[in-house]
Structure 1
Amino acid sequence: MKIELKPVTLEQLPLLKEQLPKLQTGDCNLSIASVIGRAEEYQIKWGLVEGELVLNWMPYPDIPAAYVLPLQSENILKIMQTLECSCKDCKEPLILFGRFTYMTEKISELMRYRNFITVSSNSWWDYVYDRSRIETLEGRDLHGKRNFNKRFYKAYPDAAFVPLDAPMIEKCRGFLAKWYEAHGEMTESLQAEKVAIEFAFDHFEDFGLIGGALVNGDDIFGFTYGSGVGGDIFSVHIEKADRNVTGAYPALASAFAKALPEEFKQINREEDLGLAGLRKAKEDWSPSTMIRKTLMRIQRDESRIE
């Protein structure tokens, strides 16, 4: 059976709202905003197998297209068998992408006599933090963040964190334009990010996004937003603050953590993409764990070889 895969567009919003939670395991890229907003960049396609959603994508450069599956589904074995036979008429291996522990344990359980190969890179892994630590900034390892936060509020004692509603989003568009102008050269990556942010602003409520801005009167020091990506994990998709304002970034992050719904206990601050500076910045927040993502190639079933 050949599976028909179609590009993800805004038209799939109702389907994603219904079925995407079945695919979520904490991966920052598996929110509605990311799947739709980055569909072209990640070459995301969708299909229905056994009545359930599967995605096919390339979330990182230089990796082959891989499937994301609803691994906890009662139909998962049938889904995998159908996909495997659709991979160029059973002549190519099935390639999956997902959270290492969840995926390897499930595939080992379902296909005990099959071999698979996993490939990963720590540049793909998400940094996850205890929400309470980011709220309070307590502990010796966060003393630097705590001090910068204090310096910010000493300079701006009336600063407040306010929700992103329609009027505030419009103000944040202006802040964003100035932020990119101050940054300098617009790389391909930054351009893709800008497009994704503008798209998210256009469909903020539709995508179930939660966010806010750090303001002092009419001045905006930064904004941030994100969404749930499975269980009690909230992913911060975007965080932009004025680099010229001392402590704006830690103040923004801490205020956002305090404002999140109580159901979220962990905060995913996404990958470092293999960039040394970004890696250091994320490690400076003292992650509690990492979401290790991997590419899995399930070896061909030799019994199918004629």
Structure 2
Amino acid sequence: MFETSFSPVTPESAETLLSAYPAFGSGDCNLTAVSLISRAAARKASFAVIEGIPVVRWHPTGEEAAYAVPACAEKMKPVLEHLSEEARLRCEALYITGVVDDLVANLTAHLPAVSFRLESSNDYWDYIYDREAFVTLAGRKLNGKRNFARRFRAAHPQATLEPLTPAHVPAVRDFLTGWYAEHDSNAGLTEECEAISIVLANLTALNVTGRVLTDAGRVLGFTYGAECAPGLFAVHIEKAARDVAGAYPVLAQEFAKSLPEHITELNREEDLGIPGLRKAKTDWAVKRFIRKCRICVDL
């Protein structure tokens, strides 16, 4: 066996990645074609087609290279065996990222002779919500969101939410310039800004689902995402004007309303251990978490 040739993940990889995600997605917010391609440089992502499915080799949180495998049951055993041999040829430890329960079950079933060590931090767990909670903003937990949304609609009765298309890109870029100018720069925001720029330049190729909130020609916010597993939609980006009360909850609510009927849950990504981000996510009615991990397989 020869070492597998992995190619860089680029916008030209979209068709191959879309063949596996969301159909074989695990629900991980990072494993959509949109996220993989827009964050490829930061995560040093590459891919190879193994046993007919695209396997990603990446550095999702900056450590050693790890592999992410689409959740295709019939391909799991041969792919895991291939990656084990690949790691031996490269003289590397075999690291695999995935959802805790699924990954442990697959390793136990398909590589029963090996032992492994699991690393997991709730900083990198995904927050999952019922779509209906965002559509209705019902219940005591979301009373504050509901009130802010009501204030927004009273102040901006002509505001509209439109599908994000290439025609909106110049205005959205202008909006982002102002948004980032109001926030202290850091590595995370720089990476995010670069990712958004890639998405805006490749909306059609990446099959992006997004919306733009406007009023009297002014962009008040925009959002986009992608389905990360059947029926589960990952909201990758959500930005709204800080000076417009209620813009964020209205953007979130209207985007949820606009999604296809088969979407029943929303993945609003990780909090990365950032206190403010954790509070923002728990302020919504969290349904469950997708517990993600990195496993080191002892070969």
Q: Are residues 153 and 297 of structure 1, via their aligned partners in 2, closer, same or farther at CA, if it must alter by over 3 Å?
A: same
* Aligned mates of 1:277, 1:164 — CA distance in 2: 28
Partner residue of 2:228?
A: 229
* Aligned mates of 2:103, 2:47 — CA distance in 1: 19
Give the unaligned 5+ runs of structure 2: none
Partner residue of 1:51?
A: 52
* Aligned mates of 1:229, 1:137 — CA distance in 2: 23
Partner residue of 2:31?
A: 30
Normalised to the residue count of structure 1, the TM-score between the two structures is 0.92
Q: Contact 1:24 / 1:30 at 8 angstroms: preserved in 2?
A: yes
Q: Contact 1:44 / 1:58 at 8 angstroms: preserved in 2?
A: yes
Q: Are residues 188 and 81 of structure 1, via their aligned partners in 2, closer, same or farther at CA, if it must alter by over 3 Å?
A: same
1:169 aligned counterpart, secondary structure:
helix
Report runs of 4+ in structure 1 exceeding 4 Å deviation: none
* Aligned mates of 1:88, 1:112 — CA distance in 2: 17
1:87 aligned counterpart, secondary structure:
helix
* Aligned mates of 2:179, 2:254 — CA distance in 1: 20
* Aligned mates of 1:98, 1:182 — CA distance in 2: 35
Partner residue of 2:159?
A: 159
How far residue 20 of structure 1 moved from its aligned partner, in angstroms, is 3.7
Instruction: Read off the aligned partner of 2:25 and give its amino acid letter.
Output: Q
* Aligned mates of 1:215, 1:69 — CA distance in 2: 39
Partner residue of 1:19?
A: 20
* Aligned mates of 2:64, 2:26 — CA distance in 1: 21
Q: Contact 1:60 / 1:124 at 8 angstroms: preserved in 2?
A: no
Query: Is 2:259 the partner of 1:251?
Result: no
Partner residue of 2:293?
A: 294
Give the unaligned 5+ runs of structure 1: 301-306
Between the two proteins, the alignment pairs up a number of residues equal to 298
Partner residue of 1:109?
A: 109
How far residue 6 of structure 1 moved from its aligned partner, in angstroms, is 2.4
Instruction: Read off the aligned partner of 1:8 and give its amino acid letter.
Output: V
Normalised to the residue count of structure 2, the TM-score between the two structures is 0.94
Q: Contact 1:27 / 1:291 at 8 angstroms: preserved in 2?
A: yes
Q: Are residues 21 and 147 of structure 1, via their aligned partners in 2, closer, same or farther at CA, if it must alter by over 3 Å?
A: closer
Q: Are residues 284 and 115 of structure 1, via their aligned partners in 2, closer, same or farther at CA, if it must alter by over 3 Å?
A: same
Query: Is 2:241 the partner of 1:242?
Result: yes
How far residue 267 of structure 1 moved from its aligned partner, in angstroms, is 0.7
Q: Contact 1:23 / 1:68 at 8 angstroms: preserved in 2?
A: no
* Aligned mates of 2:57, 2:97 — CA distance in 1: 9
1:212 aligned counterpart, secondary structure:
strand
How far residue 111 of structure 1 moved from its aligned partner, in angstroms, is 2.5
2:122 aligned counterpart, secondary structure:
coil
* Aligned mates of 1:18, 1:236 — CA distance in 2: 20
How far residue 144 of structure 1 moved from its aligned partner, in angstroms, is 1.0
Partner residue of 2:175?
A: 175
1:87-98 matched pairs, under 5 angstroms: 87-89=87-89, 92-98=92-98
How far residue 202 of structure 1 moved from its aligned partner, in angstroms, is 1.0
1:199 aligned counterpart, secondary structure:
helix
